[in-house]
Chain A
Amino acid sequence: EVQLVESGGVVVQPGGSLRLSCAASGFTFDDYTMHWVRQAPGKGLEWVSLISWDGGSTYYADSVKGRFTISRDNSKNSLYLQMNSLRTEDTALYYCAKDIGNHYGFDYWGQGTLVTVSS
Chain B
Amino acid sequence: QSVLTQPPSASGTPGQRVTISCSGSSSNIGSNYVYWYQQLPGTAPKLLIYRNNQRPSGVPDRFSGSKSGTSASLAISGLRSEDEADYYCAAWDDSLSAVVFGGGTKLTVL
Contacts and interface: CB of A to CB of B under 8 A. Distances in A.
Q: Answer whether A and B are interacting partners.
A: yes
A53 interface: no
A106 B47 contact: yes
A105 B33 contact: yes
Given A44-B104, A50-B99, 18 more contacts: A44-B86, A44-B101, A44-B103, A45-B101, A47-B99, A95-B45, A103-B33, A103-B51, A104-B33, A104-B91, A105-B33, A105-B47, A105-B50, A105-B51, A106-B47, A107-B47, A107-B50, A109-B46
A16 B86 CA distance: 32
Contacts of B96: 62
A110 interface: yes
B46 A105 contact: no
Interface residues of B, number: 27
Nearest to B45: A109
17 contacts: A35-B99, A37-B45, A45-B39, A45-B88, A45-B90, A47-B98, A47-B99, A60-B98, A100-B35, A105-B33, A105-B47, A105-B50, A106-B35, A106-B37, A107-B50, A109-B46, A111-B44
Interface string A42-57: 0011110010000000
A104 B102 CA distance: 15
Interface residues of A, number: 23
A50 B92 CA distance: 12
B104 A45 contact: yes
Contacts of A110: 44
Contacts of B2: 44
Provide the main secondary structure of the chain A interface. strand
Interface in B38-53: 39, 44-47, 50-51
Nearest to A60: B98
Nearest to B35: A105
Interface in A25-49: 35, 37, 44-47
B100 interface: yes
Interface in A55-81: 59-62
Interface in B64-107: 86, 88, 90-92, 96-104
Contact of A100 (B39, B47, B91): B47
